[in-house]
Structure 1
């Protein structure tokens, strides 16, 4: 039985694609190698979103290819967004690669792996919009947490973003198929279901009837045996009263919303082809906090878009100080070829962009410190994820901490808790982005 090794880079949506590919390979008789050195064929599922992701992908491809000399590897398959973006260049400049699959061709992964195993060169580059939306999964997450991709692609056409050219237009999955998959995940013991898409708020609007189906989907998910239902991402101009009411009223939906704002300057936002401005965003976030008690917010921001003035950057900083968003990811503008923003005049110097990012990160660290301090003395429900040997403490996440992007709670416990269990922890202190605490006795 041949062995396959897989490395998945980039976002959670890419991870789900990797899970689908592993399921297809296992069904075709491939065994999954725990160590890439033991793999007969290696697969690297790439991200090609921004320059840093492209660099990481190329480095990973070259590192994996070395197993052809140092291990038993006979072939290398590369899939994902970088392939979709640079297929011809990769075939010409990276002879280490034996087979490639674009984002519309994940179902060809078995053929690609067989070709690579046989020492053949192959390319599978079907139309992005033809990508299968359904299929089995060999999950790569812990048994208690699963990503739940409800749509593929994006039709927003933001001026700085290449995703529509990598993933195709927005395509919602059918409700029946989603509910069947969700029930299977619940039956398998998943306790934290993370609903993902490039924009989950548009779910259903491309289906017959053009209805916003996310509220209905969430109600149905909350009828299943999940403990937490977490939402990523909600676009600010697509949040309806009905959706807010569902989020507020369903106890299983964690009161943590990731709402990408990107900026607050109306001029900058229009250059990005995005709606809203700082005043509208402030009103929206205040309304959400008023209607959803305990709400914790996350957003993503871009600094250094071409033409961003000092005054516009200062307005962004003032907004963050005023609104006090608990979680913020800030990124320097990356001029990606094929995007409108890459061709704009008044490109900003890299050092200026880096300095602006550092200013926002420093400002935001104070907001996070204040938030963490506000939790001291509180008993919070923590999803236990394991034991940290270095810290000699158990660790996990609260509802306010999403996977990988936020902090952890490190806590003492007299009796060993079960990974995947929900533990009451009294918060006693904080350290950087993390909280410290003690498991409540008798609970």
Structure 2
């Protein structure tokens, strides 16, 4: 066990990562050495930032806590603290079942951890954090919580009502990050498109993105986790007009069958969904759409699933993920529907739809062969430099594998010509 060392372990989404980066900054201000997701966990203090989204994520979080509990018993680590969505949602159960944890904190009260160990929380560092991503990009969280009432989703149980962060605070954070070398901003929230309704009584995301794009040093802005119902269409104008706003939209659609959309409480129809996608592609030529779909929600018939398959084939999403329904305690579905679809059927449907998407992705990538793209370089691997185009978000989207014909510098932009393509990777050469 290393004295004066704090190990931070982040599980789940990029929104959790931002919270971890903020608490890391506070620990550093209090004189600790901090490591994030360390190769060797041996800190005087270990903090696990948990995910409670679906069963698999919950299991991963609990298994990590149990593993660390054993390390604590053996004297390999000191204090063990748990924060985040899982403990926000299941606090009493976790306190009862995991006595090896010194203290649990929820999604929003982690500042209390610092005072509980006799340290200070520095308000003047509230916008500051230790970036754990490559220095040239960062995640920018513009809101907490969610006011949607989707049948299957437990996130509002953990995060509460939607709370937009004031534009001035966001601009301050962006400027601070630019000073630290950040060029690319992944704008995140549980629901980006709702931004501003609580604070400004209007959908203010288009204005926020414009204000961000005016800040010197902001090279790319990429938008994640929009909601399709009542989409703020002025955002498409901003995306079309502003060169540093990536032509990319991550918008979770979940399903397309009208019966399923109604049962899921999505407040949109099949026809409106098709119209939304058509308008996005007409107003922003070349836009790449990422979506997430769900299979196996209670009530999903073979006919509903066939409609979803047809949707994927017709729309041809540039980026698509899917997952099987999880019957989450406390949700509308849990209270009102039976989880009657066998897990085997869910997995079969999931595999089928992802096989279709893999073929589509391969065709879309192949069509890029011979074209040149602006690429930001993330890292150097043994055989390639690895970067991304404006259409690719870190971790989830295809990468550009660049042949080592030149000496390149991570964090810089390069013009790269695509020479070969696979379903989930492009291969290219830097134009000299």
- Normalising by structure 1, we get a TM-score of 0.92
Corresponding residue for 2:67?
63
C-alpha deviation, 1:232, in angstroms: 0.7
Match of 2:26 among 20, 24, 27: 24
CA distance in 2, matches of 1:380, 1:135: 33
Determine if the alignment matches structure 1 residue 141 to structure 2 residue 143.
Answer: no
C-alpha deviation, 1:278, in angstroms: 2.5
Determine if the alignment matches structure 1 residue 388 to structure 2 residue 381.
Answer: yes
Q: How does 1:189-268 map to 2 (within 5 A)?
A: 189-207=181-199, 209-224=200-215, 225-268=217-260
Q: Determine if contact 2:366/2:422 at 8 Å carries over to the other structure.
A: no
C-alpha deviation, 1:108, in angstroms: 1.3
C-alpha deviation, 1:177, in angstroms: 0.9
- Normalising by structure 2, we get a TM-score of 0.94
Corresponding residue for 1:3?
5
CA distance in 2, matches of 1:398, 1:361: 23
C-alpha deviation, 1:275, in angstroms: 1.8
Structure 1 stretch displaced more, 295-304 or 410-419: 410-419
CA distance in 2, matches of 1:400, 1:156: 27
Determine if the alignment matches structure 1 residue 53 to structure 2 residue 62.
Answer: no
Determine if the alignment matches structure 1 residue 91 to structure 2 residue 91.
Answer: no
C-alpha deviation, 1:139, in angstroms: 1.6
C-alpha deviation, 1:68, in angstroms: 2.1
Structure 1 stretch displaced more, 70-79 or 353-362: 70-79
Structure 1 stretch displaced more, 374-383 or 235-244: 235-244
Determine if the alignment matches structure 1 residue 426 to structure 2 residue 426.
Answer: no
C-alpha deviation, 1:37, in angstroms: 3.2
Q: Determine if contact 2:26/2:125 at 8 Å carries over to the other structure.
A: no
Q: Determine if contact 1:37/1:71 at 8 Å carries over to the other structure.
A: no
C-alpha deviation, 1:338, in angstroms: 0.6
Q: 1:413 to 1:162 in 2, by over 3 A?
A: same
Structure 1 stretch displaced more, 423-432 or 134-143: 134-143
Corresponding residue for 1:376?
369
C-alpha deviation, 1:178, in angstroms: 1.0
Q: How does 1:227-376 map to 2 (within 5 A)?
A: 227-343=219-335, 344-345=337-338, 347-376=340-369
C-alpha deviation, 1:71, in angstroms: 5.7
SS in 1 for 2:226: coil
Q: Deviations over 1:174-209 (max 9, x none)?
A: 1111111111111221111111111111111001x4
Corresponding residue for 2:44?
40
Q: 1:71 to 1:417 in 2, by over 3 A?
A: farther
C-alpha deviation, 1:49, in angstroms: 0.6
C-alpha deviation, 1:113, in angstroms: 4.9
Corresponding residue for 1:82?
86
Match of 1:153 among 122, 129, 145: 145
Q: 1:206 to 1:414 in 2, by over 3 A?
A: same
* Structure 2 unmatched runs, 5+: none
Corresponding residue for 1:107?
111
CA distance in 2, matches of 1:22, 1:58: 22
Q: Deviations over 1:204-235 (max 9, x none)?
A: 1001x402211111111111111110001221
CA distance in 2, matches of 1:3, 1:156: 40
* Structure 1 unmatched runs, 5+: 116-131
Q: 1:35 to 1:429 in 2, by over 3 A?
A: closer
Q: Deviations over 1:380-427 (max 9, x none)?
A: 1111111112xx111111111111111211111322211111111111
C-alpha deviation, 1:349, in angstroms: 0.6
